[in-house]
Structure 1
Amino acid sequence: MQHITPNPNTLIWYDSDYISSPDEQLFNPAYWKAQNRVIGSAQGRGTTWFVETEHLPAALRHYRRGGLFGKLVRDQYWFSGWQNTRSFLEFSLLNKLAKANVNVPRPLAALAVRSGLTYRADLLSEKIANAQDLVAILQVGRIDSAAYHRIGAEIRAMHDAGVNHTDLNIHNVLIDDKNRVWIIDFDKCSEQSGDSWKQDNLSRLKRSFEKELGRYQIHWQPTDFDALLKGYQQGKQ
């Protein structure tokens, strides 16, 4: 990880293997639109833009608040040091997981811009090619026990790396066209010692299956989670 400071109130962290010219414009959707390099978008708390970088497709996300407070203060966060910014923390966590051979998006660049006591932030990370989240996949049909084993094993690898995914749900688990499992969206996640939080992650994931079963009528049944837990116990082979 390298970093530059274009001015005293701006810091960019980047991976020089993928970003040769780190600049604030990398985090501006208008820059990518002007070059006709926007390849898609997705709506969530805000718009995630999918763009074609010099080396690989990437996802550009601006950090936004959720909930009632987010309606009042959409994208400003209290500044308590550059290494406490959400963009730096997620960039660092993705780096750690990638080095631990966990399937996560490669972090390409992160931005934080300070304004007085607050800051705004953005993250540019790899777009996982030819992948869908579990909700989209299970709306079409069931997946077999081997797929659930792989999901459990990938979560186990993340836990073995000491990372607590505080929003582990089936929107954040992807499967690509080579049957590889990916875990995404590590905003507000962190490294953590001990074990009690690991069960909390798994319980949250199970509740997500149950919730989307009612909302989207996904093809899932409780015994499928037993297969996932078996994969978790065995780990990645």
Structure 2
Amino acid sequence: MKELSTPKQMIWYDESLLAEDPVLSFDPDFWRSANKVIGSAKGRGVTWFVKTTNGEAALRHYRRGGLFGKLIKDTYWFSGWKKTRSYQEFLLLNHLNKAGVNVPRPVAARATRSLLGYRADILSEKVPNARDLVAILKETALPPETYNKIGQEIRKMHDAQVNHTDLNIHNILIDDREKVWIIDFDKCYSQNAEQWKRSNLDRLKRSFAKELNKRSVHWCEDDWQALLTGYRRS
């Protein structure tokens, strides 16, 4: 990991994954002017999908959610560069990759000081030819073998002692080779002990039930048991 610093900005990046100027790489207009924007997705803000020299990447600006986010959209309290959300997510993704968990590799992260705190951005690899579980389950049911794989991947993440505080079916992807990926590790962290792992699984099950009621996704209790079978088998 390389560092690039100025008095009001810190950038961390993997030079093996980023050939472009690290400073410019966080500016959507830079990618747009080079005709390298290949798509976008809307959540709290816009995630831009871009074509870098070394592959495809996702550029995301950190934004707050909830009621507080309507007042202060994208500024966070600054207590040190290495405590910023972008740096912490960069480290966590590296840790998970080394542990063999299928997550996007972090390309670069940035934190920029402002008068009241800091703002942050992250550039990470885009998982190619993948869709989230919501999109898939709206169209078709999945076989038990796929749920086994999902459970196994969550178990690998838990064995790496990473607490995914927002584990839901929007954050689980399956690519065209039926490989399972876990994404969106903002506000997640390493944690010892065991009890939080049950909470992760409970949150995920609530997510399935929510989308069953909201979008009539193809899912049932037997699918959940298949996921748990994969989780326990790992």
- State the TM-score bracket (shorter-chain normalisation): over 0.9
* Unmatched segments (≥5 aa) in structure 2: none
How high is the sequence identity, in percent, across the aligned residues? 59
Post-superposition offset of 1:24:
2.0
Aligned to 2:3: 3
Contact 2:86/2:109, CA 8 A, preserved across alignment: yes
**CA distance in structure 1 between the partners assigned to 2:201 and 2:208 by the alignment:** 11
CA deviations on 1:193-229 (whole Å, 9 max, x unpaired) are 0000000000000000000001110000011100000
Aligned to 1:99: 98
**Normalising by the residue count of structure 2, what TM-score does the alignment of the two structures yield?**
0.99
* Unmatched segments (≥5 aa) in structure 1: none
Aligned to 2:153: 154
Q: What are the within-5 Å matches in structure 2 for residues 1-237 of structure 1?
A: 1-5=1-5, 7-235=6-234
**CA distance in structure 2 between the partners assigned to 1:22 and 1:229 by the alignment:** 44
Runs of 4+ in 1 over 4 A off after TM superposition: none
**CA distance in structure 2 between the partners assigned to 1:20 and 1:201 by the alignment:** 37
**Normalising by the residue count of structure 1, what TM-score does the alignment of the two structures yield?**
0.97
Contact 1:169/1:208, CA 8 A, preserved across alignment: yes
Post-superposition offset of 1:21:
4.4
Comparing 44-53 with 11-20, which one deviates more in the overlay?
A: 11-20
Comparing 16-25 with 27-36, which one deviates more in the overlay?
A: 16-25
Contact 2:13/2:22, CA 8 A, preserved across alignment: no
The one-letter code matched in structure 1 to 2:127 is I
**CA distance in structure 1 between the partners assigned to 2:111 and 2:23 by the alignment:** 10
**CA distance in structure 1 between the partners assigned to 2:187 and 2:156 by the alignment:** 19
CA RMSD of aligned residues (A): 0.8
**CA distance in structure 2 between the partners assigned to 1:55 and 1:21 by the alignment:** 9
The one-letter code matched in structure 2 to 1:135 is V
Contact 2:18/2:53, CA 8 A, preserved across alignment: yes
Contact 1:12/1:22, CA 8 A, preserved across alignment: no
Contact 1:14/1:22, CA 8 A, preserved across alignment: no
Post-superposition offset of 1:233:
0.5
**CA distance in structure 1 between the partners assigned to 2:33 and 2:122 by the alignment:** 20
Post-superposition offset of 1:25:
1.4
Contact 2:111/2:121, CA 8 A, preserved across alignment: yes
CA deviations on 1:87-140 (whole Å, 9 max, x unpaired) are 000000000000111000010000000123400000000000000000000000
Post-superposition offset of 1:4:
1.0
**CA distance in structure 2 between the partners assigned to 1:24 and 1:70 by the alignment:** 26
**CA distance in structure 1 between the partners assigned to 2:55 and 2:193 by the alignment:** 36
Q: How many residues align?
A: 234
CA deviations on 1:153-200 (whole Å, 9 max, x unpaired) are 000000000100000000000000000000000000000000000000
